[in-house]
Amino acid sequence: MKRPPKDVIESVRTVSRRALVMGGVQLGVIGALGWRLQSMQVEQADQFRLLAEENRINIRLLPPARGLIFDRNGIAIADNEQNYRVVMVREDAGDVGEVLAKLTEIVDIDPDDLSRAMEEMQRRSPFVPVTIADRLSWEDVAEINLNTPALPGIQAEVGLSRVYPWGADLAHVVGYVGPVSDFDLSRIDDPDPLLQIPKFQIGKTGAENKLEQTLRGSAGTRRIEVNAAGRIMRELDRQEGDPGKDIQLTLDSRLQSYVQARMDGESAGAVVIDLENGDLRAIASAPAFDPNLFVRGISVPDWTALNEDKYRPLAAKAVQGTYPPGSTFKMVTLMAAMEEGFVTADETVYCPGFTDVFNIRFHCWKRGGHGNINLHESLKQSCDCYYYEIAQRVGIDKMAEMARKLGLGVRHDLPLSAVAEGLAPDKEWKARVRGEDWRIGDTVNASIGQGYVLSSPLQLAVMSARIATGRVVTPRLIRLVDGVEQPSGLGESLGINENTLRRVRASMEDVCNHRRGTAYGSRIVDEAHKMAGKTGTSQVRRITPEERAAGVTKNEDLPWERRDHALFVGYAPYDNPRYAVSVVVEHGGGGSRAAAPIARDILLQAQYGGPPPLEAYPAGVRDKIAEQQRRIAARVPPGAKGRSRA
């Protein structure tokens, strides 16, 4: 059958027409594709290039070396120690089990660590190094390196870890570092990417914590090329970070170590201030703890033991403990009254052993009373009735003002955890906090440092320093940051009448050096190093009239928790003061018996820059002191193994 040509022509025409339509549509689609390519590859190229680089390039942080902390003599008190660990790369190891078996023959590895490492290796890509064991000794590492051919996939790596050569002696001041916890991250607002590194160590307490920003340094970066599976292909470049800045403290680690040793067995705090510049030479709190335990991660039994000890080793008592200052507060009362003109040197007050104030009887520590007593003797013999009387004249607000002027009841800005503010109470305070009116009995109590008054050993030492110098001494803990000297703590005059200061100092001198002074037993006989001071005994219990009638129970017969706190503040040499000291022995009994001898030993140690000769002590105690010096010398100073700065 032959198709008519007309049909053919019509068919060709239709096909041609529609083919052109098809071609048009195709051109449109290709135009769209071309436009799409152009917009992605030309217009958005930079954006996509960035994404490709992000894909390809991983930035790894290089943790900086943490700054070191030195004492005033350049002896390291917080150091970085090389720390060896063994890592394994599964794909290089071949038979993982066999290699690990060989490794355990060479070094001791905790089976728990081993199984954790095995598990981690199964979970992660075969090329990721997994830590098998941490904190190996140099000998172990040498042994492993020697056996490298038999241990495929095993590498020894070196890192830095924090170490505190002085152990417990500086624990409360230096604090310790530990790995960043989720709690830390939620608490601190710090965008530093270093904190995201697993197990990155930051300061947790003490100076390590407060000086974190200075000590940490900044992260270096390492740009590496990775493939889609995360395998590192090559390192593109590396930028070293800035290591943390070194810090030199004002502390004298040898003196600090001595003070810790001297207070061994007590629950106590002591502070030594250099009067030339306010430098804190020692801030000791006993008992203490070993900060190195925390760096490694403290075990549960150790932690429980520290927490349950009734002597509270974790508390930095020297700066964060607050105690009623007891008779050491009498200088405040006295100076306030003298400055306001309520008392003169010649006036005497009769002390029958008690004072009645609105039907409430306040007792003097001496039951029989001191009789007629003047200003000089009142402080020397620590007569309470004298202060009951003059406090009522001057009033609490002037006393509180004087207390703050001398550094009590104000927070001293030190880079330490929880520096206590203490309390110098006044009428406004009681109305605000207690919602009660101030009563005259409160003033009477405060006059001898009882009642609401609270102060820390640091504040007491500052008070002592300010009385000794008559100037605003601000305690200083940091001497140098990255080689730059920090401002001195010795400020201008307190603005207290020189006559007032002279009389108070003279009285404090007699406290220690006059036969009837309360600290005469703890005097220093070496003329050039004699000390002045004031004892204090603060009650932590209330003595009821019934108890008093029955005869006051002796401290020694009470349970430890209810015994009096023993305090002493002082300075030496008395005629040209160089060091101020405060000592608080928790529940130590009387200040003259428990605190003053410690203060004496500390001041002698500080003045001699080491163990003093026995001739500095009164003849009667030399045997006892010699024995004590032997005992302390036998104690190996932990810092001996630390290094010092050239």
Partner 1 sequence: MSYLEYNTKYVPTGLRKLLHLNWPIILLLCAVACAGFLMLYSVAGGSMTPWVEPQMQRFAFGLVLMLIVAMVPIWFWRNMAFVAYGGSLLLLLGVEFFGEVRMGAQRWIDLGFMRLQPSELTKITMVMFLAAYYDWLPNKKTSHPFWVVLPVLFILTPTMLVLNQPDLGTALLLLLGGATVMFLAGVHWAYFATVVGAGVAGIMAVFQSRGTTWQLLKDYQYRRIDTFLDPANDPLGAGYHITQAKIALGSGGWTGRGFMQGTQSRLNFLPEKHTDFIFTTLAEEFGFVGAFTLLVLYLLIVIFCIISALGNRDRFASLLTLGIAMTFFLFFAVNMAMVTGLAPVVGVPLPLVSYGGSAMLVLLVAFGLVQSAHIHRPR
Which of 127, 560 has the CB closer to partner 1? 127
Q: Is 185 in the site for partner 1 (CB under 8 A)?
A: no
Which of 38, 493 has the CB closer to partner 1? 38
Which of 5, 368 has the CB closer to partner 1? 5
Q: Is 125 in the site for partner 1 (CB under 8 A)?
A: no
Minimum Å gap between C-beta 289 and partner 1 is: 48
Minimum Å gap between C-beta 52 and partner 1 is: 4
CA distance 563 to 540: 7
- Name the DSSP letter for residue 612: P
Identify the helix (H) or strand (E) that includes residue 36: helix 5-38
Minimum Å gap between C-beta 39 and partner 1 is: 9
Which of 40, 543 has the CB closer to partner 1? 40
| CB contact at 8 A, 321 and 269 | yes
- What lies within 8 Å, CB to CB, of 131 at 6+ separation is 85, 86, 87, 117
Angle at 477 between CA 475 and CA 483, to 5 degrees: 130
Q: Give the number of other Cβ atoms within 10 Å of residue 410's Cβ.
A: 16
Q: For the segment 227-266, give every residue that binds partner 1 (CB under 8 A).
A: 227-229, 233
Size, binding site for partner 1 by CB under 8 A = 46
Interface with partner 1 by CB under 8 A: which range of 9-17, 80-88, 110-118, 487-495? 9-17
Q: Is 8 in the site for partner 1 (CB under 8 A)?
A: yes
Strand 579-585, strand 490-493: pairing:
unpaired
Supply φ then ψ for residue 110, to 5 degrees: -60, 125
Helices within 107-252 (DSSP H only): 111-123, 138-146, 171-174, 182-187, 206-210, 212-216
Q: Is 181 in the site for partner 1 (CB under 8 A)?
A: no
Which of 31, 352 has the CB closer to partner 1? 31
CA distance 1 to 7: 13
Which of 17, 630 has the CB closer to partner 1? 17
DSSP states of 306-361: HHH-TT-TTS-HHHH--B--GGGGHHHHHHHHHHTTS--SS-EEEE-SEEEETTEE
Q: Is 52 in the site for partner 1 (CB under 8 A)?
A: yes
Amino acid at 324: P
Minimum Å gap between C-beta 46 and partner 1 is: 8
Which of 102, 223 has the CB closer to partner 1? 223
Q: Is 3 in the site for partner 1 (CB under 8 A)?
A: yes
Say if residue 311 is exposed, middle or buried (CB neighbours under 10 Å; 0-12, 13-18, 19+).
middle
Looking at 10, 347, 428, 627, which residue binds partner 1 (CB under 8 A)? Answer: 10
Interface with partner 1 by CB under 8 A: which range of 17-25, 84-92, 195-203, 276-284? 17-25
Minimum Å gap between C-beta 236 and partner 1 is: 11
Which of 26, 499 has the CB closer to partner 1? 26
Q: For the segment 32-51, give every residue that binds partner 1 (CB under 8 A).
A: 32-34, 36-38, 40-42, 44-45, 47-49, 51
Query: x-or-dash pattern for partner 1, window 570-599, by CB under 8 A?
Result: ------------------------------
Q: Is 60 in the site for partner 1 (CB under 8 A)?
A: no
Amino acid at 393: R
Q: Is 59 in the site for partner 1 (CB under 8 A)?
A: no
Looking at 61, 87, 89, 226, which residue binds partner 1 (CB under 8 A)? Answer: 226
- What lies within 8 Å, CB to CB, of 443 at 6+ separation is 391, 392, 395, 396, 399
Q: Is 2 in the site for partner 1 (CB under 8 A)?
A: yes
CA distance 85 to 134: 4
Minimum Å gap between C-beta 91 and partner 1 is: 16
Looking at 23, 297, 609, 613, which residue binds partner 1 (CB under 8 A)? Answer: 23
Strand residues in 426-504 grouped as ranges (E): 471-473, 478-481, 484-485, 490-493
Beta bridge partners of 234: 225
CA distance 316 to 440: 34
CA distance 278 to 276: 6
Looking at 12, 101, 142, 305, which residue binds partner 1 (CB under 8 A)? Answer: 12
Specify the 3-state DSSP secondary structure of 280: strand
Q: Is 29 in the site for partner 1 (CB under 8 A)?
A: yes
Supply φ then ψ for residue 432, to 5 degrees: -75, -50
Complete edge-to-edge strand list for the sheet that includes strand 268-274: 280-286, 268-274, 579-585, 565-572, 532-538
The structure tokens 């004249």 sit at: 393
Minimum Å gap between C-beta 121 and partner 1 is: 22
Minimum Å gap between C-beta 57 and partner 1 is: 9
Interface with partner 1 by CB under 8 A: which range of 15-23, 164-172, 337-345, 454-462? 15-23
Minimum Å gap between C-beta 155 and partner 1 is: 25
Which of 56, 366 has the CB closer to partner 1? 56
Q: For the segment 366-405, give every residue that binds partner 1 (CB under 8 A).
A: none
User: Comparing C-alpha atoms, which of 639, 592, 585 is closest to residue 268?
Assistant: 585
Which of 92, 225 has the CB closer to partner 1? 225
Which of 229, 636 has the CB closer to partner 1? 229
Q: For the segment 402-421, give every residue that binds partner 1 (CB under 8 A).
A: none
Minimum Å gap between C-beta 153 and partner 1 is: 23
Q: Cα–Cα distances in Å, from 185 out to 178, 297, 622, 640?
A: 13, 18, 55, 36
Which of 45, 525 has the CB closer to partner 1? 45
| CB contact at 8 A, 336 and 393 | no
Which of 32, 418 has the CB closer to partner 1? 32
Minimum Å gap between C-beta 232 and partner 1 is: 11
Q: Which residue ranges make up the site for partner 1 (CB under 8 A)?
A: 1-3, 5, 7-8, 10-12, 14-16, 18-19, 21-23, 26-27, 29-30, 32-34, 36-38, 40-42, 44-45, 47-49, 51-53, 55-56, 225-229, 233
